[in-house]
Chains A and B, each alone.
Chain A
Amino acid sequence: MSPAASVIARDRSDQDRAVEVAPGVHWIGALDPGLRTFDIILRTANGTTYNSYLVRGEEGVAVIDTVKAEFAEDFFARLESVARYDEIRVIVLNHLEPDHTGALPELMRRAPQAQLYISKRATPMLKALLKPRDDRPLTYKTVGTGDEVSLGGRTLRFLHTPFLHWPDTQCTWLAEEGVLFSGDVFGCHHCDARLFNDLCGDFRFAFDYYYAHIMRPFKGYVVDALKLIEPLPIKLIAPTHGPILRDRPRRYVTRYRELSTPSLAERIDQGERSLIIFYMSAYGSTARMAEAIRAGAEEAGGIRVSLYDLEGGEIQPFVDLIESADALVLGSPTINGDAAKPIWDLLSSLAVIDLKGKLGAAFGSYGWTGEAVKMIEDRLRGLKLRVPVAGLRIKLIPTDEELEECRDFGRALAGALVRGEQGRVIDFADLG
């Protein structure tokens, strides 16, 4: 924690009061304004919140998610301000990561009568968290879309929304109040004690940043989840991190739809495939190879080929381009037995996008060793790209014959892209 952050942390107030977010629904979470790095990889300029909620029905109380272990004291104080432990009938876990289950063991000790509700994919994680033994068995119910639990005049309905962003994730819908307890979906790392989106500072960048790092690798699953969420008459979204979305909550659903829809697909013709070539070139030889490969690939038709010199661009926009592309072709000279660093910078930035089903290929000119091409191919395979055409290496300056080889290489890649069309039977040996 930075010195500034620790000052902020000491200034926390209202630690022991729950906040009503809808009739009979209270926020009982915790504020963590001092946090600057979440899960090692995510930065946050003003901390985060661990949101937990309590729903009161005529026949009992439900607690939805808990908080990180270090913040259990705040959580229990807020819970006690609106309910007794013996009233808790239901504990819903929308996501079992430790920042939402840290206070769970103690909550279960204080409310032993409460029934746990988890998604169908959460059992192994629950067991790993709570370590049941023969003398201390674990009872819980697994639920999926359409399952519900009544609290008396209040019904919690479950939506199975796996991989947002773990296999276990689900959302819980309180129909009577139009409240969606969405887990990490629609969340962000932004800490503001005013809690509600219409009162907090501008957190749009935090919302998009969270999506980009947490949800983006699972876009297909986001789209599946939106099919369940979009028809709901939502009045308020209660995520597990960041502001509670009560002012025009549907804007955030729409934003997820926008962020999950491939932008390039709207611009290129239906059925057209996209192939992108990135290269580095010290003396122009790899650049000439790249241009010849482009010419060869373009002959096929139906393929949009793009060519970029990595030296002239930033990594992030290139990552966006790759996300929408069907094939990624990388060219690098070999320098001291390795590919050029910008190639590795690009390849180490692709974890945030879904690469499944894309083709990869590598090429490059070299002076005396030429290992780069093979190393790039290995990395592409490591990222689960299919490498259907063997890499192309040319010693120093390409001759006319060698440039024709480059065009053939481009033609072969284009052929692999077109052959990969739906419906055709592919032979395992051709998968590369």
Chain B
Amino acid sequence: MAKAKITFSDIEQTVNVPAGTRVIEVSERIGAGIIYGCREGDCGTCMMHVEEGWNNLTEPSVLEEKVLRENMASRHDRLACQAQILGDCKVKPA
């Protein structure tokens, strides 16, 4: 299975994950600083900033785009409960 590395820059931890893993699954287990609310892409609490590898996450859905807009997300912000890891990337709490 394809692998990818995700780095949580706030805790300086890197995890090797199977491609397709959601960021939430990794960040909660590793203890990164991203805070979660509804865990289903609605509340916007888990907004994170993608520092590197923006294109290595799955495209945001229409619903995620709407929540990001409502939360005044900047260009490389995503919801950690929605984004799936496809290749190497580096993230931190937004």
Q: A: which residues have CB within 8 A of B? A: 120-121, 123-124, 127, 142, 163, 167, 220, 356-358, 384, 386, 420, 422-428, 431-432
Which residue of the partner chain A has the closest CB to B43?
A124
Checking B14, B21, B35 against A163 with a beta-carbon cut-off of 8 angstroms, the contacting residue is B35
Which residue of the partner chain A has the closest CB to B46?
A167
Q: Is the CB of B70 within 8 A of A124?
A: yes
Residues of B3-33 at the interface with A, using a CB-CB cut-off of 8 Å, are: 5, 11-18, 21, 26, 28-33
Which residue of the partner chain A has the closest CB to B30?
A431
Q: Is the CB of A425 within 8 A of B5?
A: yes
Residues of B28-56 at the interface with A, using a CB-CB cut-off of 8 Å, are: 28-33, 35, 37, 43-45, 47
Checking B15, B30, B70 against A357 with a beta-carbon cut-off of 8 angstroms, the contacting residue is B30
Please name all residues of chain B whose beta carbon is closer than 8 Å to the beta carbon of A427 when the two chains form the complex: 15-16
B81 at the interface (CB under 8 A from A): no
B61 at the interface (CB under 8 A from A): no
**Cα separation A423 to B15 with both chains bound (whole Å):** 10
**Cα separation A356 to B72 with both chains bound (whole Å):** 26
Known: A356-B32, A423-B13, A428-B21. 17 other contacts (CB 8 A): A120-B71, A121-B71, A123-B70, A123-B71, A123-B72, A163-B35, A220-B33, A356-B33, A384-B29, A386-B30, A420-B13, A424-B13, A424-B14, A425-B14, A426-B15, A428-B16, A432-B29
Q: Is the CB of A127 within 8 A of B70?
A: yes
B67 at the interface (CB under 8 A from A): yes
Q: Is the CB of B11 within 8 A of A357?
A: yes
**Cα separation A422 to B18 with both chains bound (whole Å):** 21
A-B pairs, top 7 by smallest CB distance, nearest first, are A357-B31, A431-B29, A120-B72, A428-B17, A356-B31, A422-B12, A425-B14
> Can you sample 20 A-B contacts with CB below 8 Å?
A121-B71, A124-B44, A124-B67, A220-B33, A356-B28, A356-B32, A357-B11, A357-B31, A384-B28, A384-B31, A386-B30, A386-B31, A422-B12, A423-B13, A425-B15, A425-B16, A426-B14, A428-B17, A428-B21, A431-B15
Please name all residues of chain A whose beta carbon is closer than 8 Å to the beta carbon of B12 when the two chains form the complex: 422-423
**Cα separation A423 to B5 with both chains bound (whole Å):** 13
**Cα separation A358 to B17 with both chains bound (whole Å):** 20
Q: B: which residues have CB within 8 A of A? A: 5, 11-18, 21, 26, 28-33, 35, 37, 43-45, 47, 67, 70-72
**Cα separation A431 to B14 with both chains bound (whole Å):** 12
Please name all residues of chain B whose beta carbon is closer than 8 Å to the beta carbon of A420 when the two chains form the complex: 13
**Cα separation A107 to B11 with both chains bound (whole Å):** 44
Q: What is the minimal beta-carbon distance from B64 to any residue of chain A, in angstroms?
A: 13
**Cα separation A109 to B30 with both chains bound (whole Å):** 48
Please name all residues of chain A whose beta carbon is closer than 8 Å to the beta carbon of B44 when the two chains form the complex: 121, 124, 167
The verdict on A124 contacting B71 (CB below 8 Å), with A386-B31, A422-B12, A428-B21 known, is: yes
Q: What is the minimal beta-carbon distance from B81 to any residue of chain A, in angstroms?
A: 13
Please name all residues of chain B whose beta carbon is closer than 8 Å to the beta carbon of A124 when the two chains form the complex: 43-44, 67, 70-71
- Of B21, B31, B35, B45, most buried by chain A (CB within 10 Å of CB) is B31
Q: What is the minimal beta-carbon distance from B43 to any residue of chain A, in angstroms?
A: 7
Q: What is the minimal beta-carbon distance from A124 to any residue of chain B, in angstroms?
A: 5
**Cα separation A157 to B5 with both chains bound (whole Å):** 40
Please name all residues of chain B whose beta carbon is closer than 8 Å to the beta carbon of A120 when the two chains form the complex: 71-72
**Cα separation A425 to B15 with both chains bound (whole Å):** 5
Please name all residues of chain A whose beta carbon is closer than 8 Å to the beta carbon of B29 when the two chains form the complex: 384, 386, 431-432
Please name all residues of chain B whose beta carbon is closer than 8 Å to the beta carbon of A163 when the two chains form the complex: 35
**Cα separation A357 to B11 with both chains bound (whole Å):** 9
Q: Is the CB of A426 within 8 A of B16?
A: yes
Please name all residues of chain A whose beta carbon is closer than 8 Å to the beta carbon of B15 when the two chains form the complex: 425-428, 431
Q: What is the minimal beta-carbon distance from A424 to any residue of chain B, in angstroms?
A: 8
Q: What is the minimal beta-carbon distance from A260 to any residue of chain B, in angstroms?
A: 15
The verdict on A422 contacting B13 (CB below 8 Å), with A220-B33, A358-B31 known, is: yes
**Cα separation A422 to B43 with both chains bound (whole Å):** 31
**Cα separation A423 to B30 with both chains bound (whole Å):** 13
- Of A123, A220, A428, most buried by chain B (CB within 10 Å of CB) is A428
Q: Is the CB of B18 within 8 A of A428?
A: yes
Q: Is the CB of B14 within 8 A of A167?
A: no
**Cα separation A163 to B93 with both chains bound (whole Å):** 12
**Cα separation A357 to B15 with both chains bound (whole Å):** 14
Which residue of the partner chain B has the closest CB to A123?
B70
